[in-house]
Amino acid sequence: MSVNSASAPFSQRVEGLNGLEAYEASVVRLEKPLEEVELTYSGRLESYESVLPYLKDSINPEYTLLRTDSLFYPIPSEPDFKSLIKSVVGSEFDAEITVEGIPEGLVVAFGGEIKENRLRIEGTNRLDIAVAPFKVIEKEPFRLFILSEEGIERTLDLLGKAHEFYSTILGSRVEKFTVIETPENYGGQAGKGYALVSGSSLRAEIPANLYHELAHLWNPRATPETHLSRFFDEAFANYLTALAIKEIHGEKAFNRFIECLKRDYEAIVRRFPEAEKLKPPEWGELGLWELSYTKGALILYDLHLLMEDSFYDLLRILAGAENVDFEGFKKLAEELSGRDLGDFFERYF
Amino acid sequence: MIERLELRLGLDFERGTLEGMAKLKTGRKSGDLPPQSGFVRKLRERSLFPAR
């Protein structure tokens, strides 16, 4: 992909990103910094599986996916991996997109508003657009873009139960939730009010991935620095998933889920023995976000056992809270539990 | 960081190509725009429970 023209003088060249050199980007440098820029660009969108296994995005009639990860739109950042992530997670933008060239029989799936070929989303930090022969199912507050109707009725029922459970413990949300089915191994992802989920995850006996993505609607908003570790989105989403599993599928399923988290964590430690000594604020710096999904959720499980019912007050206050950081999290947990949680925070944070 | 984005995308399904026109408003003055890169997000495809 390369830039053909821009509203200001620029230079461009392909560079590996600092911190992830195998990932090469067409880096455009403007002659002088600008607050607004207009540019036209073109190129071929191909799979980038050799660098990131889940990036299979391409433009083809069977399944097309355009997402932030494959950078089909410009992102302002230093040509540095950390800077790029900060720019993405720190953004909250409104987008209006016009998509042209969709053949008859294919449907555009998007997490925001869709009016013919015009798409709109507000307050997002990423964009995901899929084009495929989707069937669309709408049942408030859900909208599903699916590749097959098989098993979907059950999924909708479970999704409704999880939504009701989260609303009960965390407060209601008026937002719609959109699910876009992907082929296998594209990597589940969530944006504002939507999720990309594979067919097998969508129809799993316990659709944990779907519960996880739905839980993101109630995420606390961490400060950009704190967000790097993914603790306040991924650890929270995974522990909320565990609680939803307990509510919907019972105690045994909850225990199995917790055991899976432990096994996955142990597998990470076998690969990176130093991970055992790291604390959540350090995870992001080293790119070990996997720890938030596993160890992070297990830390919240321990905190739940310690705080008992006051843990739900903590979840409810944090859901949708702004500028959350580790220090504020500790203070709030101690205040709500009425106990000195010094040992706990000393051990884990 | 992005504050506002207007995007016009032309997709060619036969050739697998994309033509884009982006109007980008950034939150602060920015000199570097890498229009083709990406960022890692943990691969979460594998469900913790097997599919039915």
Domain map of chain A by residue range? 219-349
Compare A58 and A132 and report the one with higher pLDDT.
A132
Low-confidence winner among A47-61, A68-82, A172-186, A267-281 (lowest mean pLDDT): A47-61
* Distance set, CA A325 to CA A151, A231, A313, A315, B23 (Å): 40, 10, 17, 14, 33
Chain B residues touching residue A94 (CB < 8 angstroms):
4-5
Q: How far is B5 from chain A (nearest CA, A)?
A: 5
Chain B residues touching residue A37 (CB < 8 angstroms):
23-24, 26, 33
DSSP letter, residue A19 = T
Q: Exposure of A125 by Cβ count < 10 A (0-12 exposed, 13-18 middle, 19+ buried)? A: middle
- Identity of the residue numbered A294: T
Q: How far is A327 from chain B (nearest CA, A)?
A: 25
- Architecture of the domain defined by A219-349: Orthogonal Bundle (1.10)
pLDDT digits (tens, 9 = 90+) for A118-130: 999 998 989 999 9
- Output the pLDDT for position B43: 32
Chain A residues touching residue B30 (CB < 8 angstroms):
30, 33-35, 76-77
Q: Is the pLDDT at A335 greater than 50, yes or no?
A: yes
Low-confidence winner among A10-19, A110-119, A147-156, A202-211 (lowest mean pLDDT): A10-19
Give the separation between CA A293 and CA A298, rounded to whole angstroms. 9
Q: Is the pLDDT at A147 greater than 80, yes or no?
A: yes
Q: What is the mean pLDDT of residues A249-277?
A: 94
Chain A residues touching residue B39 (CB < 8 angstroms):
68-69, 81, 84-85, 88
Contacts of A263 (CB under 8 A, 6+ apart): none
Looking at the complex, does the CB of residue A9 fall below 8 Å from at least one CB of chain B?
A: no
Task: For chain B, positions 29-48, list CB contacts with chain A under 8 A.
Answer: 29-45, 47-48
Q: What is the mean pLDDT of residues A103-125?
A: 95
Measured from the Cβ of residue A306, the count of other Cβ atoms closer than 10 Å reads 15
- Output the pLDDT for position A153: 96
Contact A30 B8 (CB under 8 A): no
- Output the pLDDT for position A303: 97
Closest by Cβ to B16, choosing from A44, A129, A205: A44
- Identity of the residue numbered A102: I
Measured from the Cβ of residue B17, the count of other Cβ atoms closer than 10 Å reads 17
Residue-wise pLDDT tens for chain B (52 aa)?
788 999 999 999 999 999 999 999 986 544 444 443 333 333 333 333 333 2
Looking at the complex, does the CB of residue A85 fall below 8 Å from at least one CB of chain B?
A: yes
A69 CA to centre of own chain? 11
Q: Is the pLDDT at A181 greater than 50, yes or no?
A: yes
Closest chain A residue by Cα to residue B19: A42
Q: What ipTM does the predicted assembly reach?
A: 0.79
Give the separation between CA A289 and CA A309, rounded to whole angstroms. 28
- Output the pLDDT for position B52: 27
- Output the pLDDT for position B27: 67
What are φ and ψ of residue B29, in 5° steps?
Answer: -65, 135
Given pLDDT bands bounded at 50, 70 and 90, which one contains residue A343? very high
Interface test with A, best of B3, B14, B36, B46 (most A CBs within 10 A): B36
- Output the pLDDT for position A55: 80
pLDDT digits (tens, 9 = 90+) for A267-288: 999 988 889 999 998 887 777 7
Give the separation between CA A339 and CA A283, rounded to whole angstroms. 27
- Output the pLDDT for position B47: 33
Interface test with A, best of B12, B42, B46, B52 (most A CBs within 10 A): B42
- Output the pLDDT for position B28: 55
Closest chain B residue by Cα to residue A29: B32
